[in-house]
Every structure is written in C-alpha cells, then in structure tokens.
Amino acid sequence: MAMAHTIPVAVLFVSVLKVKVSAEFNISVNPSPVAMVTVGSMLWLTCTFDLDGGTLGQLTWRYQDGGIVGSALPTASPPCSTFGPELYIVDCDDLISNKVRLGIRHPVHNDTYNCSVYLSNYTLIGPVSTQVYVIVPVTSVEIQPQTEGSIDIIENLQTQLTCVTNTDRPPARIYWSVGGLNLTSNSVSTVKSTAGGLYSTSSTLTFITKRHMDGEELMCSASNTGEHILANQTLVIKIMHVPDLSVFPTKDPFVVIEGQTNVTLTCVVTGAYPPITYLRWTKNGTTVSNTGVFNFPAITPMHAGIFTCSAYNGVGTPSSKNVTLNILSSPTKPNIIGFTEVTSSTLTVEWKPSNHGYMANIFTITHGCLNCTIIESSFVNMTDSKTYSATLTKLVPQSLYSLNITAVNKAGPSSPLELVVSTPADTCPTPLQRLSPSSVPLLVVGVILITVAVAVFGVSIFIYRKSRSRSGNQQDIPKIPVKFSRQQQPTIDRQQGHLDINQGNNYQELDPNDFSKPSPYEFLPEGGDESSFPNDRDRYEPVDIGQGHAYLQVCDEGNIEYANT
C-alpha cells in the first residue's frame, strides 16, 4: 500500500536524491527523500559515495540543525565514531565498498538527517538529506454505540454504526463485514488530525438489518500499513423482532360439528426477541384465554366467529393470527316443489333446499311401495342449483309409494321430507306422447263420432224420460229442466235405502252410465309449499276412493300430455 499520500508535502522537496559535484563524483542516501520506520524500531540510513578514483578524507552524518551525530575517518582507528552513542550508531563495515551506515535508536517523526563527503583535498561533496517518517500502527478500533459482546438491532430497520480508530500514522483504512460478507462499500470514512502529527479515522456503516443476520458476527477492522489487519472488534448481532406465531389447527376456516367436544385452539410462539410479555386468545375484542391454549366446552352455534391469537414483546406492534371457527349443524329437511312426468312405472320429484340447508353435501332419496319389503335408495350431490330433481323408475303401476328425501352433511342427516305418491294404472295414456301427423285425421274422425254419439245419446235419454212421464198414471208434475253432469253425485246414506223419486217429484231417474268413474290417483303433500304451484290447482279433480286417501287427477288434453300427481 503506497504511503505517499500520507506524507506531508514539505517532505517531498527536502533534498535531491543525488548531488552531482562534477562529472566524476556523486553521493546518495538511502532511503530518501523519506525514511519510514515503525515507532519503537531502529532506523538505518546508508550513505553511498562514488569518488571516481579520488581519496576519501572524511564522511559526516549531521542532524537537521547542522550538528554532527557521526563520522567516518579512514585514517582513524576505529574509523567510525558517534556523538551521543546512546542515540546513534555509525557502521563502517562497508567503508571499503564506499558505504557508511547511520543507525538512529529513537527516530523522531519529521527529523532530517544528511550525509556529506570530503575528499582528501578537502573538496566537499554533498550534503544529501532524508526525512524521517515514523509509522504509528493502528492498535485498536471501537464500534459505537459501545456494547459488550453483542449488539441488539431491530429487524428491517436502517441502522448506522460507527467505527473509530485510535491515533495512528498514517491514517488507517477501516473495513466492515457481517457474517464474513464485506460491507465496506456501504460505509463512509473521515480522517481527523491530532497532536503530534497523528490521525484518527472513523467510518460509518449504513445497512438494513435482516433476520438472517441474527447470530452473525459484525466486524470492524483497520490497517495503516497495507492490507494486513492490525486491529478489529467483533460483536454478535442479535436481531430484535416481533413474535413469530403458529396456530393450530392450521386450516382456516376451521369447521367443527355442533355438539363436538374436546375442541382446542393452540397458539405457539416459534421465535421472539426479546421474550414476549403476553400471549392471549380473543374473540371480538374480548379475552377468552391468557395462554396459548383455549379449550371449548361442547360446541354450539354461539361459538362461531373469528378467534385472534396475539403476542407482544415490545418491538413494533403486537403479532396476531386469526382462526375462523365455523359450526356445522345438521341441515333442515328440504322443501317439496312437486311431481312431474308421473306414469305407471316412473315419476320425477322436484325439491329445493331449506333456508338453512346450504351446508348439505348430498341429498339421499329412498322409496318403496307400501306393500313391498325392498327399499331402494339413491343420492344427488349438492351444487349451486336452487332446485333439484330425481327420477324413479321401475315402479309398480297403481301402487302407493313412500318417498323420503333427506339432506346430509358431515354433521348428520336432516329430518326426512316424507311423501306418499300413487302410480296410475297401465291404461293411462303414454306420458308426454305427441301426436304424429298421420294420426291427426284419425283424431278428427274420432272427435266427430264421439260428438255425434253424445248428441244422439242425449236425445235418446230425453225422449225416454219424456215418454215415461206421459205414459204413467201419475198426476201432472211441474217440469224441471234436466242437466247432465260428468261429476260424481253425492253419496246417499245406505241406511236411508233407495231414494223414492215420488217424494216431492224433485228428482228424475238418470242412467248410471252417465257418471264418470272416480280417479284412482292420489297426491298427498306433506309439509310441501303449495304456494309454489297455485295455478295448477284449478286443473285437479278431487275424488275419494276410500281408505282416507284423496286422489288428484290432471290431464292436459290440449297438449296430449298426461301427468298424475
């Protein structure tokens, strides 16, 4: 490491390296113009001369004030002598080689020494001078602010540390490292002059503290004699950071079945410096546990909500983690919409989830005829649909079926939606059957024939009834208009016997063939929502066939489609 920049400018111009007295004579001092020596060491100066065949009369070493400190006289014995032997030594061992050395026991910084040569004819050659530069090595550095062995630094904080050397010469260079990584480029150094021609160097390091630096060594080192490090100080970095938390269970939201026991929320501090001052569980700002563990009693819907674990150690703001607790209750039973596409062997049932049935996973459907021992089941997966349907096949015609629909989730099943439905006989027209173009003429002809038959049949009954009225021996009875109806007449109490047509003469005898048979179909809604199909009510004809069952029949002749509900 070059030291020219550390030497006072005046030293650079003290003297000339060589003095050329004539073309034949020269003299030099080594080292020159500056002789560097470490404080406490002896400094040796060498004066070399070339007399070009001439004879040496005397060589003198002089101090900067002109006083002689040593000399060499070839004719003397011994040839070399000193003035003040406790301070200097003159070495004439190489006099025969035209070299004389001066040893300075206690060199003083900036002192100047010169060498002069006299020929035997008293001709003076010189003097040639050199200046003493005493190196004072850096011996210590100090990291500020002062700490003992370790230094606490807050995580992710821009930090500035300063390293200062003791007084030295020349000015020292300071190096920084963290965990062996050189950070000197992040520092700025300044040099300050002190008494006695000494210097003090300070360097300020600016860096962002990171968690990975925790436990690493922070080192400030200095040197003023080259790259060799002469002084250093090492501190262990301790990163101050907010608490690190882990909560269990790790799933969020945490779903718990209503009624479940032994449910626990656990919060663990996995790292914190300095140590935490508190660790607690809260819900809606209310503390429920002052430890990292919260044990629930039997789970109820009231326990649902957001639970927060928080911890604090004085660094920054408290650390926190949330767990959302969802309580899973059994769903409520679905709501019936109705039946569609009912035939003698198939039917389709439609339903929708109840208002609290959104947590269902699947719907199970079981059905079986009332006189059968085999119960069949199927399921429908829960989706985002608002309505669901299932089609049952291979049913027995003209039979009553028990049908249950249940919503199921992890908490269990809902109460079942219980339905009873009747399948029609095989004689019922094919459901959803469309007329082909070739059958239209046949349908027209059939309608015409039926119309004619009804007209003729109606006239014949009228004539028959009228003739009986005239031929009988009865008295004249006021004529009452007769209206024919396809509706079933009221049932007559069997205990009253047959109705006497002579009583009051208010009744006329009607042909029993004029009455339509009651419908064999039944629809028994249980718990269903009738508001979902109010317009269909006008299309149903209630018929009582006994056993307490009310049957409903609907036929949409306009579309040639038949459905029984």
Q: What is the pLDDT of residue 226?
A: 79
Domains in the chain, please, with CATH? 4-135 (2.60.40.10), 141-240 (2.60.40.10), 249-328 (2.60.40.10), 335-422 (2.60.40.10)
Q: Nearest-CA neighbor of 173 among 1, 51, 29?
A: 1
Tokens coding 27: 């003299």
Q: What is the pLDDT of residues 86-127, one digit of tens each?
A: 899 999 999 989 999 999 999 999 999 999 999 988 889 989
Q: What are phi and psi of 463, to 5 degrees?
A: -65, -45
Least confident of 197-206, 277-286, 335-344, 443-452: 443-452
Q: Which residue's structure tokens are 């608490």?
A: 243
Q: Nearest-CA neighbor of 49 among 98, 93, 15, 94?
A: 98
pLDDT category at 54 given cuts 50, 70, 90 is confident
**Average pLDDT over every residue of 495-524:** 41
Q: Over 60: is that where the pLDDT of 225 sits?
A: yes
**How many C-beta neighbours within 10 Å does residue 381 have?**
10
Q: Nearest-CA neighbor of 525 among 350, 407, 372, 292?
A: 350
Give the amino acid at 38: T
Ramachandran region, residue 559 (left: φ > 0; alpha: ψ -120 to 50; beta: rest): alpha
**Average pLDDT over every residue of 465-474:** 38
- Neighbouring residues of 442: CB distance < 8 A, sequence distance ≥ 6: none
Q: Nearest-CA neighbor of 31 among 136, 95, 92, 102?
A: 102
pLDDT category at 361 given cuts 50, 70, 90 is confident
pLDDT category at 451 given cuts 50, 70, 90 is very low
Q: What is the pLDDT of residue 356?
A: 61
- Neighbouring residues of 438: CB distance < 8 A, sequence distance ≥ 6: none
- DSSP-derived secondary structure for 161-183: EEEEE-SBBS--EEEEEETTEE-
Q: What is the pLDDT of residue 410?
A: 84
- CB contact at 8 A, 417 and 405: yes
- CB contact at 8 A, 328 and 411: yes
Interatomic CA distance for residues 435 and 439, integer angstroms: 6
3-state SS, one letter per residue, for 383-440: CCCCCEEEEECCCCCCCEEEEEEEEEECCEECCCEEEEEECCCCCCCCCCCCCCCCHH
**Average pLDDT over every residue of 264-280:** 96
Q: Give long-range contacts, CB 8 A cutoff, 24+ apart: 194-198.
A: 194/167, 196/109, 196/167, 197/8, 197/109, 197/110, 197/169, 198/136, 198/167, 198/168, 198/169
Q: What is the pLDDT of residue 426?
A: 81
| Coil, helix or strand at residue 303 | helix
Q: What is the pLDDT of residue 427?
A: 56
Rounded to whole angstroms, what are the CA distances from 399 to 93, 420, 522, 565?
Answer: 140, 10, 10, 13
- Neighbouring residues of 225: CB distance < 8 A, sequence distance ≥ 6: 1, 38, 135, 137
Residue 488 gets which letter from DSSP? Answer: P
- CB contact at 8 A, 365 and 377: yes
Q: What is the pLDDT of residue 464?
A: 33
- DSSP-derived secondary structure for 93-139: TTGGGTEEEEEESS--TT-EEEEEEEETT--EEEEEEEEEEEEB---
Mean pLDDT of the chain: 77
Q: Over 70: is that where the pLDDT of 484 sits?
A: no
> Any idea what the Cα angle at residue 21 is, between residues 19 and 23, rounded to 5°?
110
Q: What is the pLDDT of residue 355?
A: 72
Q: What is the pLDDT of residue 340?
A: 84
217: exposed, middle or buried (C-beta count within 10 Å: 0-12, 13-18, 19+)?
Answer: middle
Strands 158-165 and 417-422: unpaired
Q: What is the pLDDT of residue 359?
A: 66
Q: Over 60: is that where the pLDDT of 5 sits?
A: no
**Average pLDDT over every residue of 352-369:** 81
Higher pLDDT, 357 or 292: 292
Q: What is the CA radius of gyration of the chain?
A: 61
Q: Over 70: is that where the pLDDT of 48 sits?
A: yes
Least confident of 232-236, 294-298, 496-500: 496-500
Least confident of 35-44, 299-308, 359-368: 359-368
Q: What is the pLDDT of residue 510?
A: 45
Q: What is the pLDDT of residue 470?
A: 40
Kindly state the greatest CA–CA separation across the chain: 202
Strands 141-144 and 158-165: antiparallel
Interatomic CA distance for residues 52 and 24, integer angstroms: 5
Q: Over 80: is that where the pLDDT of 431 sits?
A: no
Tokens coding 477: 């009875």
Interatomic CA distance for residues 27 and 61, integer angstroms: 13
Interatomic CA distance for residues 357 and 352, integer angstroms: 9
Q: What is the pLDDT of residue 516?
A: 44
Q: Nearest-CA neighbor of 220 among 187, 259, 268?
A: 187
Q: Over 50: is that where the pLDDT of 369 sits?
A: yes
Residue 127: cis peptide before it, omega within 30 degrees of 0 = yes
Tokens coding 298: 């039997």
Tokens coding 151: 């230094």
**Average pLDDT over every residue of 436-450:** 41
